[in-house]
């Protein structure tokens, strides 16, 4: 069955759409047919960034419909360019708020926007969305959800693997050789690009959105004093399961990092080099601390294009670092492909959370369904 997966991650760089051919039940056969990232219009990106730092109900409602229209367009564009006729859409939407579980409070909540009824109406295709909330209702953190996908794609009988996503946030899924879904360990390890992107925006007066190729960081030197200050962030020591996002590593934290850098009299390029090293250090530190043996790392996400970040990772591990591209899945497309798989499972009435990763009490089916039909079917 042809399925479209749609996601915009915490980086808010744009919506990635992946058209995927999926078949099978226990063992899935997954072929990526096409993918494309559609950047958000600047105005919408600004609206969303501001929303995550605080906003009102009206701007949230507005954003929900605007993002829905953009997600619908991203789906329509890939349908048109592929000439295919997919039967299902899995839309992660855009996270605007996520409060992960914590020992000192009872609340956990999350909100992904991008109205799925708009996506279903514009495309005429059954759309599964709102994947995270059922896991939270079942006592979990609603994240991470990609571990199920990692297990389906990369589980091996003889190789211990760590599948890592370098998006705004860095996360790892540990797949011990010969393990079952119950053996999977997964959690967020800290930032990947989030602080970096914000610093680059601030340091260039908004001219640049990210450190292309890691070029700016590559020219700098890592400063141990700032690095150890960063490693003192309480999230790094927190034991898994754990998830994070803009609440920990968003604009406010970036401002503190910038201020600390100024206090320590770092040059801009040294600041970026150190923050890049922090992403790698926090990732490897957490992996060493909480995971068993690893034979290979498989990385995905936009951070794979940051040579400085990949270099810092390479310096800190003896194991080979592959990308999902080595397995036929371009690094930028993996998460979108993942939500196509999760929608496929929901469509077939199967659960797809990983209780060991989210902390949920049980397996649950994920997502809510906006039925097919809509304006396309009337034409």
Ligand X SMILES: Nc1ncnc2c1ncn2[C@@H]1O[C@H](COP(=O)(O)OP(=O)(O)O)[C@@H](O)[C@H]1O
Binding site for ligand X (CB under 6 A): 9-11, 13, 167-168, 193, 197, 210-214, 301-303, 305-306, 335
In the complex with Mg ion, the residue whose CB is nearer, 5 or 9, is: 9
Reported as type and span, the H/E element at residue 182 is none
Least separation in angstroms between CB 339 and Mg ion: 12
- Based on the shown chain and the rule CB under 5 A, indicate whether residue 11 belongs to the binding site for Mg ion: yes
Q: Which is nearer to ligand X, 290 or 305 (CB)?
A: 305
Which is it for strands 127-129 and 88-99: parallel, antiparallel or unpaired? parallel
Residue 86 binding result from ligand X, Mg ion, none, given CB thresholds of 5 to 8 Å by partner type: none
250 binds, among ligand X, Mg ion, none (CB under 5 to 8 A by kind): none
What are the phi and psi torsion angles at 86 (to 5°)? -65, 155
Q: List the 185-191 sheet strands across, edge first.
A: 185-191, 169-175, 161-166, 296-300, 321-323
User: Which residue, 73 or 269, is less far from Mg ion as judged by CB?
Assistant: 73
Q: Which stretch binds Mg ion (CB under 5 A): 11-19, 113-121, 178-186, 275-283?
A: 11-19
- Per the CB < 8 A criterion, the answer to whether 181 and 148 are in contact is yes
Q: How far is the CB of 336 from ligand X (least distance, A)?
A: 9
The closest of 344, 357, 242, 296 to 23, measured between CA atoms, is: 344
CB atoms within 10 A of CB 189: 26
Closer residue to ligand X, CB minimum distance, 101 or 303: 303
Rounded to whole angstroms, how far apart are CA atoms 59 and 24?
Answer: 42
Q: Least distance to Mg ion from the beta carbon of 317, Å?
A: 25
Question: 167 or 176, CB closer to ligand X?
Answer: 167
Q: Which does 123 bind (CB under 5 to 8 A by kind): ligand X, Mg ion, none?
A: none
Residue 286 binding target from ligand X, Mg ion, none, CB below 5 to 8 Å by type? none
Which residue number, 10 or 189, has a Cβ lying nearer to Mg ion? 10
Instruction: List Cβ neighbours of 225 (8 Å cut-off, separation of 6 or more).
Output: 264
Tokens of 105: 């409070």
Which residues, 6+ apart, have CB-to-CB distance to 259 below 8 Å? none
The CA distance from 222 to 266, in Å, is: 10
Return d(Cα 157, Cα 95) in angstroms, integer: 35
Counting Cα atoms < 13 Å in the Cβ hemisphere of 250 gives: 18
335 binds Mg ion (CB under 5 A): no
Work out what residue 303 binds among ligand X, Mg ion, none; the CB cut-off runs from 5 to 8 Å by kind.
ligand X
Q: How far is the CB of 92 from ligand X (least distance, A)?
A: 9
- 13 interacts with Mg ion by CB under 5 A: yes
> Which alpha helices (H) appear in the chain, and where do they start and end?
42-52, 57-82, 116-123, 133-137, 146-154, 194-203, 215-218, 224-231, 234-237, 246-249, 251-263, 268-290, 307-315, 334-347, 355-358, 375-378
Minimal distance, residue 13 CB to Mg ion, in Å: 4
The reply to whether 9 sits near Mg ion by the rule CB under 5 A is yes
Specify the residue, 117 or 209, whose C-beta has the smaller distance to Mg ion: 209
Q: How far is the CB of 263 from ligand X (least distance, A)?
A: 25
Which of ligand X, Mg ion, none lies near 197, with the C-beta cut-off 5 to 8 A by kind? ligand X
**At its nearest, how many Å lie between ligand X and the CB of residue 16?**
6
Which C-beta is closer to ligand X: that of 9 or that of 90? Answer: 9
Smallest distance from the beta carbon of 16 to Mg ion, in angstroms? 6
Residue with smaller CB distance to ligand X, 184 or 196: 196
Among ligand X, Mg ion, none, partner that 305 touches (CB below 5 to 8 angstroms by kind): ligand X
Taking the C-alpha atoms of residue 248 and residue 227, their distance in angstroms, rounded to an integer, is 17
Interface ranges with Mg ion (CB under 5 A): 9, 11, 13
């Amino acid at each position: 069955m042809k399925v479209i997966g749609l996601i915009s991650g915490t980086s808010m760089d744009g919506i990635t759409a992946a058209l995927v051919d999926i078949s099978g039940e226990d063992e899935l056969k997954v072929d990526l047919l096409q993918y494309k990232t559609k950047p958000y219009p600047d105005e919408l990106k600004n609206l969303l960034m501001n929303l995550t730092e605080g906003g009102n109900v009206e701007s949230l409602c507005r954003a929900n419909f605007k993002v829905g229209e953009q997600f619908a367009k991203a789906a329509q564009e890939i349908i048109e360019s592929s000439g295919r006729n997919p039967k299902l859409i899995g839309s992660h939407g855009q996270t605007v708020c996520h409060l992960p579980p914590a020992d000192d409070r009872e609340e956990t909540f999350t909100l992904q926007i991008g109205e799925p009824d708009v996506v279903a109406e514009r495309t005429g295709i059954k759309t599964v969305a709102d994947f995270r909330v059922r896991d939270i209702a079942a006592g979990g953190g609603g994240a991470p959800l990609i571990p199920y996908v990692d297990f389906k794609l990369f589980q091996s009988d003889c190789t211990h693997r760590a599948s890592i996503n370098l998006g705004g946030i860095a996360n790892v899924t540990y797949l011990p050789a010969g393990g079952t879904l119950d053996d999977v360990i997964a959690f967020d390890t800290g930032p990947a690009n989030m602080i970096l992107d914000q610093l680059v925006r601030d340091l260039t007066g908004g001219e640049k959105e990210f450190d292309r190729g890691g070029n700016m960081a590559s020219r700098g030197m890592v400063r141990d004093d700032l690095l150890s200050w960063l490693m003192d962030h309480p999230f790094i020591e927190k034991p898994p399961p754990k998830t994070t996002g803009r609440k920990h590593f968003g604009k406010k934290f970036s401002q503190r990092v910038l201020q600390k850098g100024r206090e320590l009299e770092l040059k801009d390029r040294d600041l970026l080099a150190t923050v890049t090293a922090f992403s790698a250090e926090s990732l490897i530190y957490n992996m060493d601390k909480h995971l068993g043996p690893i034979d290979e790392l498989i990385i995905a996400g936009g951070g794979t294009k940051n040579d400085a970040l990949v270099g810092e990772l390479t310096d800190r591990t003896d194991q080979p670092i592959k990308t999902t591209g080595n397995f036929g899945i371009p690094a930028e497309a993996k998460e979108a492909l993942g939500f196509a798989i999760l929608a496929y499972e929901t469509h077939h009435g199967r659960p797809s959370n990983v209780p060991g990763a989210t902390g949920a009490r049980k397996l649950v089916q994920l997502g809510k369904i906006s039925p097919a039909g809509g304006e396309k079917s009337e034409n």
